[in-house]
A and B are shown apart, each in its own frame.
Chain A
Amino acid sequence: MKVLVTVKEVATVDDEFEIDGVGIDDRFLGADLNEWDDYAIEEAVQLGEAGIADEVVTVTIGPEDAEQTIRQGLAKGADRAIRIWDDALAEADLLDVEAKTEILSAVVAEEEPDLVLTGVQADDDGFGATGVALAESIDYSWAAVVNELDLDAEAGVASVHRELEGGLEELVDVDLPAVLTIQTGINEPRYASLRGIRQAQRKELAHLTLEELGLAESVVAGDLTLTSMYEPETESDATIFEGSPEETAGQLAELLREEGVAP
């Protein structure tokens, strides 16, 4: 079976930063593989190693710079990668769930995977919605917030655990084809080996535009407009201990002793 993994390169923010318009100034931004997608890649690669998946393909909506992150997925064992980008996408302030769903749906139509793995959420804009929206759009079954997966390819059923609140898990059987949104902790993502990194350089990384996917530029518009970004007013009334570590530790220790909570 074929497994498609959606992979986002997320923006990371320095401790100190400045906002420019409706975004954080580029100088304070870094980039990383979305934590949740790292677990999704690992799950797919393990399905390959178990002989269940014949091919693991990743798809990323992102600029050329994101290729370093995409190569990480290939180095960890994905077979090939697809990257979607063009000028229309580059100009968008915010790619909303609807827009991502339409684009990823077109990729699914092309690739026809049996299983799609997404992350539960993207660490930067954190909608937590793309996987389930995609499933509905492509008429696959789905399960959100999956922290255990047992796949019976012959029966065409994925038996999963969904992590609910408060230490409770729901056990669900989902018919294939399906989209699963993967939760951290489901496995132990590997580090790319040197050999993996070398091999990744030779793996196929295809770039497609919206037009090549048969989509109009207008899909980018979506329904949401990002109208402002600001640092939240701090509600903090914390007492801040100042000084060297020796001094601050001393003040804190004194306080804890006064409260009678430490010997």
Chain B
Amino acid sequence: MSDVLVVAEGRNGELREVSFELLTAGRELADAAGGELHVAVITGPVAEYAAELNREGVDAIHTVDAGEEFNHDVYVQAIEGLYDAVEPGYVLAPNSVNGLDYAPAVATALDLAIVTDVVDLELGDALVATREMYGGKVETTVETPTDRTLVTIRGGEWPPAEGEGSATIEAADVEIDEDAISSTVTGYEEVAGGDVDIADADVLVSVGRGIEEEDNLELIFELAEAMDATVSSSRPIVDNGWLPPNRQVGQSGKVVTPEVYIAIGISGAVQHVAGMKGAENIVAINTDPNAPIMDIADYAIHDDLFDVVPALTAKFAD
């Protein structure tokens, strides 16, 4: 019998969706382990967060009122304290940018095994976690024999928990040692503003690393012009400085929901897909029939973009 402790995530006064998905993943694991589901709510408006997280299946919510926004040193200390108090078998955290800023440190500090970016969990004789490798080309299962494991889960893989809960809500008895805090958040900055808002476009012609060289972007702009569409891109194109940041689709760029999204030479990494899976029609042009983008494409051409794109432009230029 093991309990499960999940760590919720908020930002700017709002809980992020993955927090509710964590409740579902946590409840499933707690059922399999015959234990209780505990939730840690650390920093931010913790009382409001706790009330919102009190959904079906949650047994206890522990709040740590320690500042408005995320600080990993506070998180690590708070989770260490809660771990000692709750003594869970498993800790679940989001595989978010902030999750990756504290979860590995928690695992090291508490000497837990860590498995990250998990898309499925089964508990039998061992804990079996499913995760991808090679940018989603293969899936693997990894086992941890111990019940002292920290798992970070990928967003969007579990449905969010719903319903009214009857959890106990308590301020946790943990002390934060201010002297042990060696990083200070000094502010926030919005990036990626500018001339074009790709989120407004009905049709996006989106280009990825398959384009190979900056000069070849011309092909993409010609197609977009012929189709009266807007050009967007995956991250490497922006990293290379070939397009400005406001053109980037994905986790750290923009979320877009156009009528048509044409992914050209884009593999479909999870962080890219996070920004475009809501498009109505997804078209993929890619030489690799096994590229992960094919899983979410509605239409596909398995061929060389340098042949297909000019041909397509010609069809619209007629």
Which A residues contact B (CB, under 8 angstroms)? 11-13, 15-17, 19, 22, 24, 94, 96-98, 101, 120, 123-133, 135-137, 141-145, 159, 161-175, 181, 184-185, 188, 222-232, 234-241, 245-246, 248-250, 252-253, 255-256, 259, 261-263
Contact = CB atoms under 8 A, between A and B. Distances in A.
B307 interface: yes
A238 B300 contact: yes
Contacts of B188: 168-171
A261 B259 contact: yes
B300 A241 contact: yes
Given A163-B252, A188-B241, A133 B114 contact: yes
Interface in B96-149: 96-98, 100-105, 107-109, 113-117, 128, 132-146, 149
B187 A171 contact: yes
Given A15-B288, A126-B117, A245 B190 contact: no
Interface of B: 11, 70, 72-73, 76, 95-98, 100-105, 107-109, 113-117, 128, 132-146, 149, 182-192, 202-203, 227-229, 235-236, 238-241, 245, 251-255, 259-260, 281, 283-284, 287-291, 294-304, 307-308, 311-312, 314-316
B16 to A, nearest CB: 8
Contacts of A19: 138
B138 A165 contact: no
B243 to A, nearest CB: 12
B100 A252 contact: no
A224 B314 CA distance: 53
Contacts of A224: 113, 115, 142-144
A253 B241 CA distance: 30
- The binding surface of chain A is classed by DSSP as mixed
A142 B186 CA distance: 15
A126 B312 contact: no
Contacts of B182: 141, 174-175
Contact of A235 (B101, B115, B238, B295): B295
A248 B303 contact: yes
A137 B108 contact: yes
B229 A165 contact: no
Contacts of B116: 97, 126-129
B105 A132 contact: yes
Contacts of B304: 245
Given A144-B97, A167-B192, A238 B299 contact: yes
B181 to A, nearest CB: 9
Contacts of A262: 203, 227-229, 316
A142 B76 CA distance: 12
B231 to A, nearest CB: 15
A168 B189 contact: yes
B133 A253 contact: no
Contacts of A163: 97, 252
Contacts of A101: 108
A138 to B, nearest CB: 10
A252 B301 contact: yes
Contacts of B113: 96, 98, 222-224
Given A165-B252, A170-B187, A184-B236, 17 more contacts: A13-B138, A15-B288, A15-B291, A17-B137, A98-B113, A123-B134, A129-B116, A132-B104, A133-B114, A136-B108, A167-B253, A169-B190, A172-B186, A185-B235, A223-B144, A230-B138, A249-B312
A25 to B, nearest CB: 12
B89 to A, nearest CB: 14
B189 A227 contact: no
Nearest to B133: A125
Contacts of B187: 170-171
A165 B70 CA distance: 14
